[in-house]
A and B are shown apart, each in its own frame.
Chain A
């Protein structure tokens, strides 16, 4: 049918009286045949006249009110205008395109900036929560051991005060230290944590304290903690020292 004219089907097509498969075939032919498209246009003009041929009847008078109330109701439902958003957009667009474009671009940039900042903040929060979760997981792991114990570090004579507690499983290599009431140090100083085995102190790292002198530190040793005899905290120059010079907290493990 693609190559044959469809004169016999044109009127049926215009009347909508073809079966779907016939209609599809005619559509294909019409795509390529100007002559048949012209015939169809004429047939449709004729068919359009049929719409005026029924006997004329007035609709019930009440219908006018129903129609107007319905449209009024639709207008109220969506502010002043319940037409689809794209139609409202098109209606009010004339002369506003450049300004709308700039406005939309600005609004999009502002939204992206806010979203970006929020994303960064959320990533920080996620990282912080991840650390807290690891710490809590460590505490739980230590507490599950039947040998776990809590070691309180005592203040040394002349020390400025403060306390610390070390939670550990002697057979394990990790422990959890929590300090409180340690004084914040000047920038050129730092607290340093030590484990002592056979009178040899081994640095477990340096740390600063936050509000109320609190610090939470995960201790990671290179051998089981039961092989250490003592734990201590000292004040050292920034960056730490190879040997403790000013021990303020100390206790046996």
Chain B
């Protein structure tokens, strides 16, 4: 935060006393964090940007794009497997951000979590349309999800992301036995049901379900120190 504010101050100093538009200040802040390697919500920057976007300021969308286009595009690319489709989903997601900015509530969850949840739903929906499979997440459902996912007590997960390097979550996932990681990834990034995963891998259904559950348990344990609690049963 201190470093980010410092960058903003320097830009002002270089340009002299003229009034800087807010978007330039934010953009400068964002560049600094981007170089650090993480997209993090610093003291309500996201909330301020989303409020300005709700008032119709496109500069705020530009700033949000700077902050989040990388994780959004990367998630879409992981789900869809090609850049063209991922670009389309990224465009769709930021259009939804603009549309739903007036209804976004920071009290129900952080912006980053809301944004990536929406990206996941839109990307999975796109995959299912492309495969012409029966959909359990329809376009409307994805739209609905984009508005309501923040209700899912996502604050813990988002707070985790602010203190936790994404690399550590990746490491936890990749530390799983390959079969467990594969089953979880086919479900989350592939949008497949456990039946479809079993059919795809040629494994018994019970085996697939057990792999997913064991994998999730291990992830839970690996990330327990970062705010995700263990089994409460």
List chain A positions with a Cβ less than 8 A from chain B: 5, 7-8, 11-12, 15-20, 23, 35, 38-39, 41-60, 63-64, 66-68, 70-72, 74-75, 80-81, 83-84, 87-88, 90-91
Contact = CB atoms under 8 A, between A and B. Distances in A.
20 contacts: A16-B191, A18-B193, A23-B136, A44-B152, A45-B153, A45-B160, A45-B227, A48-B117, A49-B157, A49-B161, A49-B169, A51-B117, A52-B161, A53-B166, A54-B78, A68-B61, A72-B58, A74-B98, A75-B56, A87-B100
Contact of A90 (B58, B94, B103, B192): B103
B99 interface: yes
Interface in B25-66: 54-56, 58, 61-62, 65
Interface in B73-93: 73-75, 77-78, 83, 86-87, 90-91
Contact of A11 (B102, B189, B192, B216): B216
Contacts of A44: 152-154
A59 to B, nearest CB: 4
Nearest to B161: A52
Given A16-B124, A67-B94, A51 B54 contact: no
B82 to A, nearest CB: 12
Nearest to B135: A20
A212 B179 CA distance: 102
Contacts, number: 179
B154 A15 contact: no
Given A18-B193, A60-B87, A68-B61, A55 B184 contact: no
Interface of B: 54-56, 58, 61-62, 65, 69-75, 77-78, 83, 86-87, 90-91, 94-95, 98-100, 102-103, 113, 116-117, 119-120, 124, 134, 136-137, 152-154, 156-158, 160-161, 166, 169-170, 173, 184, 187-189, 191-195, 197, 209, 212-213, 216, 219-220, 223, 227-229, 231-233
Secondary structure at chain A's binding surface: helix, strand, loop or mixed? Answer: helix
A39 B100 CA distance: 29
A155 to B, nearest CB: 81
Given A48-B117, A81-B56, A56 B71 contact: yes
B193 A19 contact: yes
Contact of A53 (B95, B156, B173): B173
A19 B184 CA distance: 16
Nearest to B53: A71
B91 to A, nearest CB: 5
